[in-house]
Copies of this chain bind each other. A is one copy, B any other.
Amino acid sequence: MPHPPTPDQAFPPAQRDAVYRAIFERRDMRHFAGGTVAPELMRRLLTAAHHAPSVGFMQPWRFLRVASPALRRGLHALVEQERVQTARALGEREEAFMRLKVEGLIDAAEVWVVALADGRERHVFGRRTLPQMDLASTACAIQNLWLAARAEGLGVGWVSLFDPAAVACLLGMPDGAEPIALLCIGPVHGFYEEPMLQQQRWASRCALDDVLFEDAWGQPLDPRDSAGGVDRAVHTRLRPAGARSAPDGGSAG
C-alpha cells in the first residue's frame, strides 16, 4: 500500500483545492481592463515572487516598475518592432501570428520588467554546469506572482517579444543584467476559459501522457505508475477549466 503523507503536513481539502484552482485557472492574459492595482496588493504579489526557490538561495530576480508613461510607450514600441520581426521569421504562419494579440502593455494597470541581476557569476552552487538555473529560479518567482495574482483576481501576461539589449539600454541596466520578462498586471474583464492560443487555434494542449516517460527517453510510463483514469472522482473535482473530456486536460481543440 502507498505510504500516505502525514495528515497534518497536507493542507485540508478545501485549501488544497484552492491551490489547484489557481494553477488551473491562471491564464497568460493579453486583454486588460485598465484601472490600477493597490500598492499593498502589488506588494503581496511581489512578496510571493520573492519567496520562490532559488539555486543556492541566490535570489537573482529584480523587479522594475514602469511608472513613466513615456517609458511604457518606449517598451511598447520595442515589442511592436519584435512582433513584426517574429512574424517574418514565422514564414507561412506570419499572417495568423499578426492577427494575435500578443501583449497588453498599454491597457494593463501595471507594467513590471523582470530581470536577472548583474554579478551572478559569483554564484556557483548548483550553477557550475547549469548556469542558466538563475533564469529557472526567476521563472519560479514569476509563476508565484502569477498564481497569487489569479487568486487576487488580477490578470498577468508575460511578454517575451523584445530585444533584451534594447530593453536593458532603455532601463539603464548594468553589464551582466538581463531582462527576461515584461509583465502586464492588472484587472481584466474576464479570464480566458482556456489558454488564448488554444482558443485562437494557434496550438493545443497535448495529452499529459505524451510528455511522460519512464527510465528512458521515449519509453511510456508504466500504466501502474501513471494512474490514468484512476481516482476519476478527484480528477473530475479538480478538473481544469475548459477540459471537458479528458481528466488531465487532454488535447482540446
| A contacts, CB < 8 Å to B | 2-7, 9-11, 14-16, 18-24, 26, 28, 34-44, 46-48, 50-53, 55-59, 61-68, 71, 82, 85-86, 89-90, 97, 109, 115, 117, 124-130, 132-133, 135-140, 142-144, 146-148, 150-154, 158, 160-164, 171-174, 177, 180-181, 187-191, 195, 197-198, 202-206, 208, 211-218, 221-222, 224-228, 230-231, 234-235, 238, 240, 247-249
Contact = CB atoms under 8 A, between A and B. Distances in A.
Given A144-B23, A147-B23, A228-B43, A203 B58 contact: yes
B89 A124 contact: yes
Given A40-B235, A125-B202, 15 more contacts: A3-B35, A9-B153, A9-B188, A9-B191, A15-B21, A39-B225, A43-B208, A43-B248, A59-B206, A62-B211, A82-B128, A86-B128, A89-B128, A140-B140, A140-B143
A47 B161 contact: no
Contact of A66 (B135, B171, B215): B215
A151 B126 CA distance: 26
A38 B230 CA distance: 11
Given A11-B18, A43-B228, A144-B23, A63 B195 contact: no
Copies of this chain assembled into the complex: 2
Contacts of A231: 40
A197 B126 CA distance: 13
A180 B131 CA distance: 11
22 contacts: A3-B34, A3-B187, A4-B187, A9-B188, A10-B153, A20-B44, A39-B230, A43-B226, A43-B227, A44-B238, A46-B212, A57-B202, A59-B205, A64-B215, A64-B216, A64-B217, A65-B221, A67-B225, A90-B125, A126-B160, A128-B161, A132-B180
